Chain A
Amino acid sequence: GAVVSQHPSRVICKSGTSVKIECRSLDFQATTMFWYRQFPKQSLMLMATSNEGSKATYEQGVEKDKFLINHASLTLSTLTVTSAHPEDSSFYICSAEDRSSYNSPLHFGNGTRLTVT
Chain B
Amino acid sequence: GDSVTQMEGPVTLSEEAFLTINCTYTATGYPSLFWYVQYPGEGLQLLLKATKADDKGSNKGFEATYRKETTSFHLEKGSVQVSDSAVYFCALIRDQTGANNLFFGTGTRLTVIP
Contact among B10, B93, B104 with A103 in the assembled complex (CB-CB below 8 Å): B10
A76 shortest CB reach to chain B, Å: 18
How many chain B residues touch the partner (CB < 8 A)?
28
Not counting A9-B99, A40-B97, A104-B106, a sample of 12 additional A-B residue pairs whose C-beta atoms are within 8 angstroms of each other reads: A34-B43, A36-B43, A36-B44, A38-B93, A41-B95, A43-B34, A46-B43, A103-B9, A105-B87, A105-B109, A108-B104, A111-B102
Nearest-CB residue, chain A, relative to B38? A106
Indicate which residue in A9, A44, A111, A113 contacts B44 across the interface (CB closer than 8 Å). A44
Q: For the complex, what is the distance from the CA of A41 to the CA of B53, rounded to whole Å?
A: 16
B residues near A (Cβ < 8 Å) are 8-10, 32, 34, 36, 38, 41-46, 49, 87, 89, 93, 95, 97-102, 104, 106-107, 109
Q: Which A residues lie at the B interface, using CB under 8 A?
A: 9-10, 32, 34, 36, 38, 40-41, 43-44, 46, 49, 91, 93, 95, 102-106, 108, 110-111, 113
